Amino acid sequence: MDKDILDDMLGDIIDTKPIMTKPIDKPITTKEKEIKMENIEIKMEAKEVKSEVIKIEDNKFLPGVSVDVGTSFICSTRYTEDGKFINKFHRNSLYALDINEESADLLERSNYLYIKTENKYYVIGNDAISLVNALGKGEIIRPMKNGLLNESIRESENLLFNVIKCVVGNPIVPRENLRYTVPASPIDKDVNNLFHQNVLNNLFEKMGYAAKPVNEAMCVIFNCNPIMKSEDGDVPFTGIGISFGAGMANVVLTYKGMSLVEFSCTKSGDNIDEQVEKVTGMSKGKIIKIKEKKLNLNKIDDNDRVQSALSVYYDETIDRIVKNIENKFKNVGSEIDGEIEIVVSGGTAKVPGFDKRLEASIRNSSIPFKIYRVRMADDIFFAVSNGANVRAQSDYKKSLK
């Protein structure tokens, strides 16, 4: 292993802490992992948040925080002194209510987290989905689309800022190091991620962090440490990392922790929902519920139209992304001469049976490398955020030198 390169890349952390992570020791249910905080009342332009984010009191955190800024979920990770990753997340969705007595009553009766602007209330997170399903009217607002800021919504920057603020909270030391994830530029859409990155950077700096971007797929590599088996022995951090998110899938090929080729594709989990909505006529909210709670790609009920359609569009997504990997990696030089591992994360990969379908598609492809294994991240949903946290801690250690 070329330790100098890795040390330079990751700092001391690589020597002292295992990169492969286990899910949090203390079992925390999903519900509890989601942040609970009192409702905040913010005027769009106002800087002040009246009540602040909760602290997880039992843990002492090491400085260095990460934020996985996804189309569908905002996740953040801190690392405890006794070596655990602690995650928080919120669904990156809002539901707008007009400001009137009826809405005010509803908000008072519920414990929804919401933002108040000059002319709207915005209910944040999973509650937004519950509300749109319950009321059966209106629609979910997404501050991000296809992995980047949603340009079609005027307030997207402010809304995103408030969702992120709910998840991340304040720095625990002055100018605490923070890493936020950014996608690579997409191969199937003519957009550049620079503006998005700039907006996020300003936002975190405004919150008091020393912020730096990190490529989303690289985070999967840092978290999972894919190994290449070669004649000279095992080579760490060498292989392919894929994150199957909502708006995008992000892919990287690495050699000893260095990115050789990286790209994103804009159609992933959201596109599956959209296509299934088109062919079944069922609302997206309901489709998402079935996909996340019931779907098992090993056991599709062929009499169920939604499950059948989900199965078809899962295959389409997997095959399309594998085809892109094949095309994009065809011209890579010969440094990769061993057998590599592919490591996988992301909410879209969470559904049971995803691994088998991905592996079959890869075996059928002409990806120009020998692949000995496809490995799902231990904590599929938080692998990206945990991987980014490794970098944030490394930044902090470097800042002390």
Ligand X SMILES: Nc1ncnc2c1ncn2[C@@H]1O[C@H](COP(=O)(O)OP(=O)(O)O)[C@@H](O)[C@H]1O
* Contacting positions for Mg ion (CB under 5 A): 68, 70, 245
β-sheet bridge partners, residue 371: 340
Instruction: Round the CA-based radius of gyration of the chain to a whole number and report it.
Output: 21
Could you tell me the CA-to-CA distances from 255 to 235, 237, 274, 331, 341 in Å, in that order?
8, 6, 36, 15, 12
User: At closest approach, how far in Å is the CB of 139 from ligand X?
Assistant: 16
Q: Toward Mg ion, which CB reaches closer, 68 or 273?
A: 68
In this structure, what token pair is assigned to residue 326?
């094949």
Instruction: State which of positions 49-68 bind ligand X (CB under 6 A).
Output: 68
| CA separation for the pair 91, 24 (Å, rounded) | 20
Does the footprint of ligand X cover residue 213 (CB under 6 A)? Answer: no
350 binds ligand X (CB under 6 A): yes
Q: Per CB under 6 A, does 285 bind ligand X?
A: no
Burial class of residue 234 (count of CB atoms within 10 Å of its CB; 0-12, 13-18, 19+): exposed
Task: Choose between 313 and 369: whose C-beta lies nearer to ligand X.
Answer: 313
Residues in CB range of 347: below 8 A, 6 or more apart? 70, 72, 73, 244, 245, 246, 269, 380, 381
3-state secondary structure of 295: coil
- CA-CA distance, 341 to 330, in Å (whole number)? 17
Q: Smaller CB distance to ligand X: residue 241 or 245?
A: 245
346 binds ligand X (CB under 6 A): yes
Task: Answer yes or no whether residue 70 interacts with ligand X by CB under 6 A.
Answer: yes
Return d(Cα 27, Cα 166) in angstroms, integer. Answer: 22
**Per CB under 6 A, does 274 bind ligand X?**
no
What the block records as the tokens of 298 is 């090993």
Identify what 225 binds: Mg ion, ligand X, none; CB under 5 to 8 Å per kind: none
Number of residues that bind ligand X (CB under 6 A): 18
Using the contact rule CB under 6 A, the part of the chain among 133-141, 274-282, 288-296, 317-325 near ligand X is 288-296
The answer to whether residue 97 forms part of the interface with ligand X (CB under 6 A) is no
CB of 65 to Mg ion, least distance (A): 16
Q: How far apart (Å, rounded) are the C-alpha atoms in residues 311 and 356? A: 13
347 in contact with ligand X (CB under 6 A)? yes
Nearer to ligand X, 70 or 236 (CB): 70
DSSP-H helix ranges across 294-382: 305-329, 354-364
Residue 348 binding ligand X, by CB under 6 A = yes
Smaller CB separation from ligand X, 232 or 274: 274
Q: Residues 245, 257, 285, 387: which binds ligand X (CB under 6 A)?
A: 245
Q: Choose, by CB under 6 A, the member of 288, 310, 336, 392 that binds ligand X.
A: 288
**Site track for ligand X across 5-44, x = CB under 6 A:** ----------------------------------------
If you count them, how many residues does the chain have? Answer: 401
Contact 124, 162 (CB under 8 A): yes
How remote is the C-alpha of 147 from its chain's centroid?
10
Q: Is 71 an interacting residue with respect to ligand X (CB under 6 A)?
A: yes
Q: At 198, which helix (H) or strand (E)?
A: helix 194-206
Does residue 292 bind ligand X (CB under 6 A)? yes
* Out of 242, 351, 358, 377, the residue judged to bind ligand X by CB under 6 A: 351
Binding site for ligand X (CB under 6 A): 68, 70-73, 245-247, 269-270, 288, 291-292, 346-348, 350-351
